[in-house]
Amino acid sequence: MTTSQKINKHKKTALYVLLIYILMQISGRWLLIPFHKLVMSTTGLPSEQAAPLTQGWYIALSFAIALILILILTSRDKAFWAIYKGKKETIPLTIVWGIIGFFLVFFGQMIGAAIEMTVFGIQGGSQNTADIVAIAKGAPITILAIVVFGPVLEEFVFRRVIFGSLVQTTNFWVAAIVSAIFFGLIHFDFTHILLYTICGLIFAFLYHKTKRIWTSIIAHVMLNGFVTFVQVFAEPLQKFLEELEKMQ
Long-range contacts of 91-96 (CB under 8 A, 24+ apart): 93/210, 94/210, 94/212, 94/214, 94/215, 94/218, 95/218
Cα separation, 66 vs 150, in Å, equals: 10
Count, residues in the chain: 248
36 included as an active-site residue:
no
Among the listed residues 36, 116, 155, 187, the single catalytic one is: 187
| Cβ neighbours of residue 80 closer than 8 Å, sequence gap 6 or more | 10, 13, 14, 74, 160
116 is catalytic: no
CA distance 175 to 180: 8
Q: Is the Cβ–Cβ distance between 209 and 89 less than 8 Å?
A: yes
**Burial status of residue 147 (CB atoms within 10 A of its CB: 0-12, 13-18, 19 or more):** buried
Catalytic residue among 116, 154, 192, 220: 154
Q: Active-site residue numbers?
A: 154, 187
